[in-house]
Chain A
């Protein structure tokens, strides 16, 4: 039972490069979320999805795009990476009446 799996775990990008972070969950959860965590701050919501084929903006969506083509996967894309996007990214999922489960995080550095 893998739970929530994020890939990759670490990545270094050059400014202007693009990349996609993958989140996969095997719990048949409806809701999926992407957060970023920065030192001294609480996790902040980037984008979220309340079901397959639907996405919505969170608190800090600029510079990111997402897609939920399959219920079990939630992809986070960086169109043109900037140093301000250096952060640890967490994916989470939950069912309608369950607690949220988090992935292990992706540490991204943009140089």
Chain B
């Protein structure tokens, strides 16, 4: 069964600290993996997208890694800011006639001063 799991479910960190969010998936055949940020009451916004051949992608203070062999991805946030407080969603696409995707349940991150 195609699934996307994320951990932890929620996380609280102090402003300025780093953190890493995890995503495990069982989607096959794999097409790409995306990380989205969703602020409360808003729609998700794309942070990174990685295909099978890419194992790291950065977007400012966000760095995503992908291990297609173990089917794991992580999102590392450096020097966190209060504005990083949001839900982070891992989305995995598998290859069909068009890309179908599965959304993970998300990790809720709270950055406190």
Is the CB–CB distance between A31 and B98 below 8 Å?
yes
Determine whether A43 belongs to the interface, using a CB cutoff of 8 Å to chain B. yes
Q: Is the CB of A102 within 8 A of B4?
A: no
Beta-carbon contact of B105 and A100 below 8 Å: no
**A76 interface residue (CB < 8 Å to B):** no
Partner of B43, one of A42, A44, A99, A103: A103
- A contact residues, total (Cβ < 8 Å): 19
**A101→B45 CA distance, assembly (Å):** 7
Tell me, yes or no, whether A104 is within 8 Å of chain B by CB: yes
Counting contact residues on chain B (CB < 8 A from A), the size range is 10 to 19
Which residues between 1 and 56 of chain B lie within 8 Å of chain A, taking CB atoms? 4, 34, 41-46, 49
Are A100 and B46 in contact, with the CB atoms below 8 A?
Answer: yes
Closest Cβ of chain B: how far from A96's Cβ, in Å? 9
Closest residue to B42 on the A side, CB-wise?
A104
Instruction: Tell me the bound Cα distance from A30 to B89 in angstroms.
Output: 24
Residue A90 interfacial (CB < 8 Å): yes
- Chain B residues within 8 Å of A, Cβ to Cβ: 4, 34, 41-46, 49, 89, 98, 101-106
- Across the A-B interface, the 10 shortest Cβ-Cβ residue pairs: A102-B43, A42-B103, A43-B103, A99-B46, A42-B105, A102-B44, A42-B104, A103-B43, A104-B43, A90-B43
A-B pairs with beta carbons under 8 Å apart, 21 shown: A35-B103, A41-B105, A42-B103, A42-B104, A42-B105, A42-B106, A43-B44, A43-B103, A50-B98, A90-B44, A92-B43, A99-B46, A99-B49, A102-B43, A102-B44, A102-B45, A104-B41, A104-B42, A104-B43, A105-B42, A105-B43
